Amino acid sequence: MRLITNTEELDAACVELGRHPYVTVDTEFLREQTFWSKLCLIQMAGPDLEYLVDPMAPNLDLAPFYRLMANEAVEKVFHSGRQDVEIVFVQAGVIPKPMFDTQVAAMVCGFGDSISYVNLVKRITGADLDKSSRFTDWSRRPLSEHQLVYALGDVTHLRDVYHHLKAELKKSGRAEWLAEEMAELTTAETYIQKPEEAWQRLKVRVKSRRSFAVLMELAAWREKLAQAQDVPRARILRDEALYDIANQAPTDTAKLGELRTLSEGFARSGRARDIIETVKLGLARDLKSVPPLPKGQAMSAESAALVELLKVLLKSLAAQKGVASRLIATSDDLERIATEEHPDIPALKGWRLDLFGETALSLKRGEIALAIDGGEVVPVPRSRTPVLTKS
């Protein structure tokens, strides 16, 4: 099995793949020691072509690969491809499209929530994949024959999965559902990591909105530094330290040095002075730009009951329609439907609105009830006439 290690061979392979309607793609990468993913191997396959590419080879320019990813005449097929697409976008500013994600397509076709590639291949083709090299260090060279065979299987079986799911979507009339999901995965905004939004990755473990403001500034500072130095966020500062600093809001290095979440001597570092300046920015921030703190209050009994009914409705409709319930609505979606007047959530948009959202809102308004019919939960019109009981 040959590994492409020079630009001329890669260009020829990509030109050949570009003549076909689709290409299956996978990548192997490492991210444990860096902020940005380190691309270690690229696997590609067309209807009757298979290629492995070594992006770490010294004489290889990946420009032909990125041109193929930008070629809108070729559908790019991934399984759970968000991280693969992010790599291409970060390195080349290219979004592979049109795109077909077999994990998302499988959810639309009723294969369950976030089915793994191994299980999907087994269910569709009957093949048992060898995953013994799953956690290998793909940056080490040379790669063994066993590793290469394993890696190639991630795109060769993907062809059969793609054809099967494509046919299922056509038969069920749900191709447009998948197109809606792919729209998010092929939008550049999905992959732009904005430092000012880094706080959204954190749990809000702060005591006040002022502390929240400091946390937002600290998260942005850490994100910028981690991206610039290409190191994991925790290498700059652990989450626990962010919460501690935000709550204590030290305005000098002596106070900073008293925090137990920081190592001894940290207060004497240059980074400590940067943190103090960041804390001051947070303290000076206009609180109008700071979201309200999560209330942490239990929902009313009525709302809690509605959430439970919505869960039953969701599970029932998902089973009846053969769609993964997680793809239709999340637990947060259900809580927002129950507690907010006009929630702006995916469950109330597009195909989800038709499949679930309209019925969910009818249930909330008391226009329908849930009943058992033939062993299935079904929505039924609800009489507005009060039921009279004998006293």
Q: Write out pLDDT tens, residues 212-244.
A: 999 999 999 999 999 999 999 999 999 999 999
What is the DSSP code (8-state) at residue 260? T
Does residue 74 belong to any structural domain of this protein?
yes
Name residue 4's beta-bridge partners: 53
How are beta strands 368-373 and 376-381 bridged, if at all?
antiparallel
CA dihedral 111, 117, 121, 127 (to 10 degrees): -140
Q: Does 262 reside within a domain? A: yes
Residue 340 to residue 310: CA distance in whole angstroms: 14
Last residue of a domain, one of 145, 162, 191: 191
pLDDT of residue 391: 46
Domain identity same for 99 and 139: yes
391 in any annotated domain: no
pLDDT in tens, 146-199: 999 999 999 999 999 999 999 999 999 999 999 999 999 999 999 999 999 999
Which of the four pLDDT bands, split at 50, 70 and 90, describes residue 294?
confident
**Pairing between β-strand 99-101 and β-strand 38-45 as defined by DSSP bridges:** unpaired
CA distance 52 to 154: 11
Domain that holds residue 53: 3-191
Averaged pLDDT score across all residues of the chain: 93
Q: CB neighbours (10 Å) of residue 230? A: 12
Task: Examine the domain organization and report whether 137 and 202 are in the same domain.
Answer: no
Residue 296 lies in a domain: no
Based on the fold, state whether residues 115 and 42 are members of the same structural domain. yes
DSSP string, 360-388: HHHHHTTSEEEEEETTEEEEEE---SPPP
Q: According to the model, what pLDDT value does residue 293 have?
A: 85
Same domain assignment for residues 222 and 249: yes
50 and 160 within one domain: yes
| Residue 295 forms part of a structural domain | no
d(CA 67, CA 72): 10
Assess if residue 390 is contained within a domain: no
Domain presence at residue 389: no
DSSP code at position 187: -
**Same domain flag for 136 and 234:** no
126 plus 85 within the same structural domain: yes
Among candidate residues 159, 191, 223, the one where a domain is terminated: 191
Mean pLDDT is lowest, of 2-11, 23-32, 39-48, 130-139, for: 130-139
Is the pLDDT at 315 greater than 70, yes or no? yes
CA pair distance 4, 217, nearest whole angstrom:
45
Instruction: Please write the tens of the pLDDT for every residue from 316-334.
Output: 999 999 999 999 999 999 9
The verdict on 259 and 209 lying in the same domain is: yes
199 and 245: one domain?
yes
Residue ending a domain, among 129, 160, 191, is: 191
Residue pLDDT, tens place only, 333-355:
999 999 999 999 999 999 999 99
Give the pair of three-digit tokens for residue 279. Answer: 């804390």
Do residues 35 and 59 lie in contact, with contact meaning Cβ atoms separated by under 8 Å? no
Q: Is the dihedral of CA 341, 346, 351, 356 positive or negative?
A: negative
Cross-strand bridge partners of residue 23: 76
Same domain, 215 and 261: yes
pLDDT of residue 296: 58
Q: Using 50, 70 and 90 to split pLDDT, how confident is the model at 113?
A: confident
At residue 384, the pLDDT reads 58
Confidence grade of residue 1 (pLDDT, cut at 50, 70, 90): low
CB 29 within 8 A of CB 37: yes
User: Dihedral sign, CA of 372, 376, 377, 383?
Assistant: negative
- Its pTM stands at 0.88
Q: What is the CATH number of the domain that holds 51?
A: 3.30.420.10
The number of distinct structural domains making up the chain is 3
What CATH number did the domain enclosing 358 receive?
A: 1.10.150.80
> Quick check: 206 and 189 in contact, CB under 8 A?
no
Please indicate, yes or no, if residue 78 is contained in any of the structural domains.
Answer: yes
The answer to whether residues 210 and 327 belong to one domain is no
Confidence (pLDDT) at 2: 77
| pLDDT tens digits for range 249-269 | 999 999 999 999 999 889 999
- Using alpha carbons, list the distances in angstroms from residue 230 to 31, 33, 215, 224, 236: 10, 8, 22, 10, 10
- Same domain for 56 and 185? yes
Dihedral over Cα of 211, 212, 213, 214: its sign: positive
